[in-house]
Structure 1
Amino acid sequence: MNLAVLLEKTAQRVPDHVALRFENRQLSYGELNRRVNKVAGAIKNLGIGPGDRCILMMQTCPEFVVAYYALAKIGAVIIPVNFLYKAHELRYIISDSQPRAFIGMYPYLDEPARVLADFPECAVRIALGVQSDADFISFESLDAPELLETYPASDEDTLAILYTSGTTGAPKGAMLTHKNLYSNAMTVADMRHTEPGDVVIGVLPLYHVFGQTSVMNASIYLGLTLHLFSHFDPGAVLELIEKEKSTLLFAVPTMINRLIAEAEARGLKRSSLRFCISGGASLPVELLKKFEKIFQTKIYEGYGLTECSPVCIENPFGGKTKPGSIGLPIPGFQIRIVDDSGRDVKTGEVGELLVKGPGVMKGYLNKPEETAKTIVDGWLHTGDMARQDEEGYVYIVDRKKDMIIRGGYNVYPREIEEILYRHPDVLEAAVYGVPDADLGEEVAADVVVRDGARVTEEELRKFVKDLVAPYKYPRHIRLVRELPKSHTGKVLKKELRERWVSR
């Protein structure tokens, strides 16, 4: 089945229901489907067809949704990229993926234009917010007769190539099929109870797989109203939560932290949040408890990765949730936790998390060796260290490559970060290993404190020292103004280590 069928079926079922809201605009499902069909027809007339790759480099807006579904409809392969990428980052992706088309938007065209000049084979170039000229065709001018025939994609046809963040090396293009993406969207949507009047708060960037699956595709499948934000603005999100009758929020921990700070600073008149799904990175338990108390709602923490489309584990909706746990495998998925020899560890022991299910990618583009190392006998090796309790709930301990080995002892940064978050003056914390001539690695922490806080580095060091074994507490603590993060809010520990070494 082609993923575009999700929109077609919903448009038939609820054509007049509001699909998208953005700034001062809104589109019904019928209008959205008609616009997708027109753009699909226009792109097809430009010579783009099944299997052709297209870079989609747009900020979150209704046109992103239109372009995404139009490309899916004609069987093209979508390569969503961050609209803020610079020429260096784009050059790698374009060189690796060899696209035939590019769809972007003003004012984010200077960097791609520099790169596209060296790739004449990417001949179809479209941009939102420009006049058609020799460089770009205006997106607004894409107005062919409606294309009503949808390409009959097979389950194994690639729909999207999503490049991983590259925090441990060069980015890799995860090839996700129509089945990967539509099955994941339908599964997570059906797991949760929603109502037709629910408004989904669209703050996750749509170029990221979490935003595509849990926000865009799942909402379209269910026929919910999706209120899009071009960027995350805590104040604007708070106003929407206060104004609407019923809202749903999908967010990463950084967003949750900033919403807490905003609500504490200005107060919250009322909360319409029925539930919140947190993913993308580990959510500190203290933040989870504080958010639930302030917003009078429930957070269901889950886990996923680009290579899984992305959701594969989540705390069960309406069931037992465990703070600090990412939950249970979602329907269709299986997990294992194994040691370095590939043997299953005992309950409660730490090992690498392996997953298997319908969302697992078909492989990395142009990287058969990387694919073979990552997917073994159908099991995806996540690189995350985890443990499982007696009831099957999974707890992420840390990234396999983030684990610190201090004098032969394993130190898991997340455990230390959780303790730092307990301190009332700590806003954000990142723990990582730094080179040490005697011990191999030493534990270090960069900490952001709240405005007006007077806590010292020594006080924080003692705070942790009193709560953990002697080899675990950070000998090096540095108070910083902010932590370097990826576009999805993940702390870039590789950059923290590099900064340490350079000092």
Structure 2
Amino acid sequence: MELWQSLARWADQQPDRLAVLTPGRQLTYGQLKRRSSAIARQLDSLQSTRIGARTSDPIEMAIAFYAIAASGKTLVVIDPAWPENLASTMAASLHCKYMIESPNLTTLPGVSRLMAFPESPADDDYVASAANLSGSRDLLVICTSGSSSRPKPVVRTVGSWEESLSAGSRILGASLDQATLCPSPISHGLGLYAMVESVHSGGTFLATGKWDLNGVRSLLSQSSCTRIVSVPTILRRVLELAEPTFLSNLLVVVSGGEALHQETVQLLHEIAPMARCVEYFGSSEHSLIAYRERKPDQPASPYFEGQLFPGVRAHIHGKDSATGFGLLYIDSPFNAKGYDASSEASVSRCGKSIGIGDRAMLASGSARVVLARRNDEMMNLNGNNIHPGEVSTALESVGLPNAIVRLDESGPEPQMVAYTVSPPRSRSTLLSSLGQHLSRYKIPHRITYLRSWPETFSGKLNTAALNDQDLDIERSDWLR
């Protein structure tokens, strides 16, 4: 198992280098290997094949991940932000009877808590056995943080993660000399993957485990940060609220999860002109799909158009002859096995390819893919096809960046609504300006100015919450 071999190699070559740094603690590569080895030996005696990890502490998660991986068992990630009844239900349905968890959490019913074990000398025979574990076995079960009411548990194999790390690390800028800041939840896919990617590459992982501005400032004051991995909303906060001098050494910024707004790209390059900004599109079910580099002078685009990661092949099913878009299916060595058998959800399969409902079209001889933003499918309003991205681009061009356009069908007639957190504009001026960019039928019926975007636990924009009952609205204007 290359995951364990890489940790063992770094622990031998650089035992005192920091593997993980949090605001209050630090973990070297030597400590990570010893502590995870000690726990793995304890796990060997358990009959259960699945072991949970329920923590927002990046150091605890790192030890749990490598210990469970080395033991040949499967890690089940239980989000500590979930309500206790949801966490208990998910643990039971995923047959998770043992849990490595933070001591400040209440132990779930029917679950035995596993505590951190004392360090012990490395056992060469044990390390050798961990290195020989099959790549086809289940590595982890991690739940999607999407908008559905019940998380969907995705099963990933050792091989799928190792292939993903091998293909993506160079493109995403993970390397031995990087100190990577990840201020996103460690119990979610992006944060967990970023941690393993950093350790696998021999770098230092700077993490708060969840969004914590004071914690981020503390980390930046302790270590020279050269790389950031996060979602756009949290990345924007870091750039706006952290001391700019602490970010001046940035070389790479990686953004995933949703569209990265152009004004954030511009702010990044003002603070760190030498930084390379990489935006990627992926999912828990597919891991990495496509990527692109973002420049400060790029025009806004209603779509994500990116290069497929090495080894990834894309297919389009049910293509619309008018738009060229259809359902995206991915054939990739990074693909998950699917959802756990306990879930009612299922991926759509076509041969070795799987799809989860994303819409896209292919470009440049199938080497590139053009993706509609999630929850951003073509709208049909009174017989007219309207792409929300086109309307968002027009709004940005008249001074309202980052707007999200939705179809409101709650009333007797469907209406197009644009949401933004930009300062309110004069209705007449806005209407006149939009008329220079859009046909009248493409101008939103209403624009709603929000004080802040609704967010999920992971800091992603919660598009499912875009309804007037749940939003912090500053003002709404009717445009037509």
Normalising by structure 1, what TM-score?
A: 0.81
1:180 match: 160
Secondary structure, counterpart of 1:204 in structure 2 = coil
Return the match for 1:447 from 420, 425, 450. 420
* Counterpart residue identity of residue 178, structure 2: D
Q: For 1:228-243, what aligned pairs fall within 5 Å after superposition?
A: 228-234=207-213, 237=216
Query: What residue is the counterpart of 2:55 in the other structure?
Result: 58
Q: In percent, how many aligned pairs have the same letter?
A: 21
1:28 is matched with which residue?
Answer: 28
Q: CA deviation at 1:105?
A: 1.3
**Kept after mapping to 2: 8 A contact 1:40/1:73:** yes
Q: Answer whether contact 2:176 2:202 (CA < 8 A) is retained.
A: yes
- 1:343-375 CA distances to partner (integer Å, 9 max, x unpaired)? xx79x832222211111011111168843x522
Per-residue CA shift, 1:292-327, capped at 9, x if unaligned? 23321221111110002x212112799xx9975452
Which aligned pairs between 1:329-344 and structure 2 lie closer than 5 A? 329-339=308-318
Distance 1:490 1:270, change over 3 A: closer
Within 2, Cα distance between the matches of 1:170 and 1:293?
41
Pick from 271, 282, 291 the counterpart of residue 314 of structure 1: 291
What is the CA–CA distance in structure 2 between the aligned matches of 1:203 and 1:142, rounded to whole Å?
Answer: 28
Q: 1:199 to 1:434 in 2, by over 3 A?
A: same
Aligned to 1:81: 78
One-letter code aligned to 1:480 = L
* Counterparts of 1:329 and 1:322, CA distance in 2: 21
Structure 1 residue 250, shift from structure 2 partner: 0.9
Q: CA deviation at 1:238?
A: 6.3
CA distance in 2, matches of 1:22, 1:86: 25
Q: Deviations over 1:387-411 (max 9, x none)?
A: 3444744332233675433223333
The answer to whether residue 17 in structure 2 is matched with residue 17 in structure 1 is yes
Q: CA deviation at 1:78?
A: 1.1
Task: Give the equivalent residue in structure 2 for 1:135.
Answer: none
Q: Within 2, Cα distance between the matches of 1:168 and 1:460?
A: 35
Cα offset for 1:339?
2.6
CA shift, 1:243, in A, is 7.3
CA distance in 2, matches of 1:243, 1:26: 11
For residue 300 of structure 1, what is the aligned residue in structure 2?
Answer: 278
CA deviation profile, 1:105-159 (whole Å, cap 9, x unmatched): 14332xxx4xx32xx3x3x213xxxxxxxxxxxx244556756344443222111
Aligned residue pairs total: 462
**2: distance between equivalents of 1:282 and 1:176?**
25
2:338 is matched with which residue? 363
455, 462, 468: which one aligns with 1:485: 455
1:229 Cα shift? Answer: 1.8
Change over 3 Å in CA distance of 1:466–1:226 after alignment to 2: same
Determine if the alignment matches structure 1 residue 383 to structure 2 residue 357.
Answer: yes
Quote the residue 1:93 is aligned against.
90
Q: Cα gap change, 1:9/1:416 in structure 2, threshold over 3 Å: closer, same or farther?
A: farther
Matches of 1:462 and 1:57, distance apart in 2: 53
Unaligned runs of 5+ in 2: 474-480
Q: Which moved more, 1:250-259 or 1:465-474?
A: 465-474
**CA offset at residue 338 of structure 1?**
3.3
Give the aligned partner of residue 203 of structure 1.
Answer: 183
Q: Secondary structure in 2 aligned to 1:307?
A: coil
Question: For 1:217-256, what aligned pairs fall within 5 Å after superposition?
Answer: 217-234=196-213, 237=216, 245=224, 247-256=226-235
Paired residues of 2:228 and 2:254 also in contact (CA < 8 A) = yes
Q: Which moved more, 1:362-371 or 1:141-150?
A: 141-150
Which residue identity does 1:273 align to in structure 2? L
Q: Which residue in 2 is equivalent to 1:136?
A: none
> CA separation in 1, counterparts of 2:159 and 2:458?
24
1:437, CA displacement in angstroms? 5.8
Q: 2:136 aligns with which of 134, 156, 162?
A: 156
Contact 2:152 2:343 in 1 (8 A): no
Matching residue's letter, 1:36: S
TM-aligned CA deviation for residue 416 of structure 1: 3.2
User: CA separation of 1:295/1:288 partners in 2, compared to 1, >3 Å: closer, same or farther?
Assistant: same
- Counterpart in 2 of 1:130? none
Unaligned stretches of 5+ residues in structure 1: 127-138
Aligned counterpart, 1:131: none
Question: Does the 8 Å contact 1:42/1:142 carry over to 2?
Answer: no
CA RMSD of aligned residues (A): 3.4
- Matched residues in 2 for 1:236 and 1:420: separation? 35
8 Å CA contact retained: 2:327, 2:357: yes
Q: Is the 8 A contact 1:457 1:477 kept in 2?
A: no
**Secondary structure of the residue that 1:200 maps to in structure 2?**
strand
User: Quick one: structure 1 residues 467 and 63, their matched pair in 2 at CA, closer, same or farther if it must change by over 3 Å?
Assistant: same
Task: Label 1:195 to 1:177 Cα distance change in 2 as closer, same or farther (>3 A).
Answer: closer
Find the partner of 1:416 among 391, 398, 413: 391
> Cα distance 1:168–1:420, how it changes in 2: closer, same or farther (>3 A)?
farther
SS in 1 for 2:170: helix
Q: Distance in 2 between matches of 1:287 and 1:416?
A: 20
Contact kept in structure 2, 1:242 and 1:268, CA below 8 Å: no
Q: What CA distance in whole angstroms lies between the structure 2 residues aligned with 1:464 and 1:33?
A: 59
Give the letter aligned to residue 73 of structure 1. Answer: A
In 2: Cα distance, 1:419 partner to 1:238 partner: 36
Does the CA contact (< 8 Å) of 2:391 and 2:443 recur in 1? yes
